Amino acid sequence: MSANAASSKDHKVKEPQPGQPMYGCEHVGRLFNQDQATINMSIQHYKTILRAIFDINPILSHTAKGVDGQVVTSITPTYLCLQCPSTLTDDDLTKHGNKKSHRFYVESRSGALYCQMCDDIVWDPTFEDLRLKKLGTGSFFGSRKRKHEELFAPDPVKDAPQYISTNTTLATCKANGLRGIYNAGATCYQNVVLQSFLHNPILRNFYLSDGHQSGSCDTPHCLSCAMDDMFQEFYASETTNGYTAANILSGFWISENKAFENLVANKEQDAHEFFQFMAEELHERNGDGKRPEIGSEHTCNCIIHQTYYGKLQTSTTCQNCGGVTNQAQSFLDLSVPLENLTQKRGKKNLSNGDGVASTRTQNSVTLQECLDEEYIKSDKCEYRCQNCNSVQQARRQTSIKKLPNVLSIQLKRFEFKQGRNDRAQKIETPVQFPLQLNMLPYTTRARTQDLKDNYELQRSCTYDLLCVVVHVGDMDTGHYISYCRVGDQWFAFNDHKVELAQKSDVLNAKAYLLFYIVRSLS
């Protein structure tokens, strides 16, 4: 608008009221003390932004285009620049401000004014008056009372079912567990595991139904109490700001669990080890108090055993007499090696003339192929046969005797080589994993029964993907992120940042941990 425009069309700064400042901050004051054209543009643009926030119901709220041009949809508010049409995420504010010298933004959820130089939301009488009018009456032209007929008269357009379905969206802020966790200093390996717990419906229902009575628990620094507090924060509070897992951290740092002493250090650690640590600690706080013994068929009715524990059966068949010895043991997760299968695939590709690409990085395998190696194929061994009363050649095969409700799978990407120079290396082999996983071929029952027409058994062995933990980068300087499913929608969790994700993003990720939930519970 021209500075010479008619004064009747000029916007005015609100007159100061007794006891109130004239401007929200000194920087807004400088903005309003420029020429009339700048004042007109700023107020008009603010009104346009408020209309966009309160009049339009976007299907994907809080959507912004990053500085790299990529569209990002976040559960946290975005910021609409007051001085240009840009919509920015919290991370891009500084870059945009430095590049354009734009310092004022409107928060996409409330319409409040944010001053970058103050690094805070500021209450400015002129802007706040417009915001309150828009919120109260839907108009910027005062607060006249509408007649009863205007308020309740039917609207043939807006009352139409098609209009309602098109313009109705879920609340942008609701207690559905969508919230990030702040990184407290190389704690991303903890954050991804905690997110997998938070979006596990079995654990969620347990803690939200007072499964652990934290009010009457007298265990100091109890990790189960800390988990109970965290579930309450995520599902009983309508906020999407990052969460500081202080109680989890304090309980973790002072834990007396000697098996996980190496985790207590201010540097990047293994997410799989932290998952095992948390499962063991929560079992001790909610179960029989006994530590699960490796290799034993430990039974317990605690929430952790009901959720994650299954049973393996190892069958050893003597090649001399045909006698079979079965041994069962409990498992928290399935650890699936990648190195041998990757090397086999690399050699096969080379023999087929497929090039000389590194076998550690380029030859993709499927999750089913990895499971076949461990739970369908057998290997040779020697053992002392009770029938022969001597050491005999045998074949050993492992199968799953009992599947858990939530199946945890570790893809062993980190291999430690022992020798003259001990060294560790990361296996970057892409592993193709499905959204739906059939575990029936790997069960003990599949070895002994005709399963073609047993649909109920097949259904009980069908799992849906729930969460994926990904390690990005090198072993010593890498970073953990995760993908979790909420209903039918996937979200990417990167510490305190939470963004919408596509199924293709999930399936193309180089997974380290996979969590599947049995379909009957998903």
pLDDT tens digit sequence for 238-257? 777 889 998 888 887 777 66
* pLDDT reported for residue 7: 45
Read off the CATH number of the domain in which 87 is found: 3.30.40.10
Same domain? For 195 and 111 the reply is: no
Strands 365-366 and 431-432: parallel
341 against 200, higher pLDDT: 200
- Whether 182 shows a pLDDT value over 90: the answer reads yes
In the listed set 135, 164, 197, which residue is the last one of a domain according to the structure?
135
DSSP state of 441: G
The DSSP secondary-structure symbol of 169 reads -
124 plus 216 within the same structural domain: no
| Predicted confidence band of residue 356 (pLDDT cuts 50, 70, 90) | very low
Residue 221 and residue 119 share a domain: no
pLDDT band at residue 53 under the 50/70/90 scheme: confident
Between 452 and 186, name the one with better pLDDT.
186
Low-confidence winner among 262-266, 324-328, 385-389, 427-431 (lowest mean pLDDT): 262-266
Residues in the chain: 522
Q: Is residue 302, in this structure, part of any structural domain at all?
A: no
Residue 298 — very low, low, confident or very high, per pLDDT cuts 50/70/90?
A: low
pLDDT band at residue 191, thresholds of 50, 70 and 90?
Answer: very high
**Shared-domain flag, residues 108 and 196:** no
- Residue 92 falls within a domain, yes or no? yes
Lowest-pLDDT range, 62-66, 110-114, 122-126, 275-279?
62-66
Find the mean pLDDT for residues 438-444: 92
Pairing mode of beta strands 334-337, 406-412? parallel
Calpha distance 222→212 (Å, rounded): 11
Residue 110 included in any domain: yes
Here the tokens at position 241 are 């700001």
Do residues 128 and 207 share a domain?
no
Q: Are residues 30 and 122 in the same domain?
A: yes
Identify whether 285 is part of a domain: no
**Is 373 part of a structural domain of the chain?**
no
- 274 and 212 Cβ atoms separated by less than 8 Å: no
State yes or no: pLDDT of 173 exceeds 70: no
Mean pLDDT, residues 189-194 taken together: 96
Residues 48 and 115 in one domain: yes
Taking 3-state DSSP, the helix, strand and coil percentages for the chain, each rounded to the nearest 5, stand at: 35, 25, 40
Return the pLDDT at 379. Answer: 84
Confidence of residue 273 (pLDDT cuts 50, 70, 90): very high
208 is written with which tokens?
A: 């939200």
Q: Two tokens at 517?
A: 């939930």
Structural domain tally of the chain? 2
pLDDT-derived band at 62 (thresholds 50, 70, 90) equals low
503 band by pLDDT with thresholds 50, 70 and 90? very high
**How is 352-395 classified by DSSP, letter by letter?**
TT-----TTTS--EEHHHHHHHHHT--EEEEEEETTTTEEEEEE
Range of the domain at 76: 24-135
- Confidence band, pLDDT 50/70/90 cuts, at residue 384: confident
At 296, the amino acid letter reads S
pLDDT for res 229: 92
Query: Is residue 190's pLDDT more than 90?
Result: yes
Q: Directed axis angle between helix 188-198 and helix 271-286, to 10°?
A: 50
Q: How far is CA 65 from CA 25, 59, 178, 303, in A?
A: 29, 16, 21, 42
Judge whether 311 and 400 are in contact, CB under 8 Å.
Answer: yes
User: What is the distance between the alpha carbons of residues 55 and 415, in angstroms, rounded to a whole number?
Assistant: 56
Higher pLDDT, 208 or 55: 208
More confident residue, 304 or 61: 304
Residues 6+ apart with CB under 8 A from 355: 349
pLDDT at 261 over 60: no
Q: Is residue 119 assigned to a domain?
A: yes
Q: Is residue 33 part of a domain?
A: yes
The fraction of the chain above a pLDDT of 90, given in percent, is 35
**Model pLDDT, residue 359:** 41
- Which of 239, 270, 301 is the last residue before a domain boundary? 270
Give me the mean pLDDT over the 488-493 stretch: 93
Q: Which of 1-10, 227-236, 276-285, 463-472 has the highest mean pLDDT?
A: 463-472
Which of the listed residues 255, 270, 285 is the one where a domain comes to its end? 270
Does a structural domain hold residue 230?
yes
**Mean pLDDT of all residues in the chain?**
81
With a pLDDT cut of 70, the percent of the chain lying above it is 77
Say yes or no: 34 and 111 in one domain.
yes
Domain identity same for 29 and 117: yes
With tokens 């959820």, the residue in question is: 109
Q: Report the b/e string of 34-52 with b at 16+ CB within 10 A.
A: eebeebbbbbebbbebbee
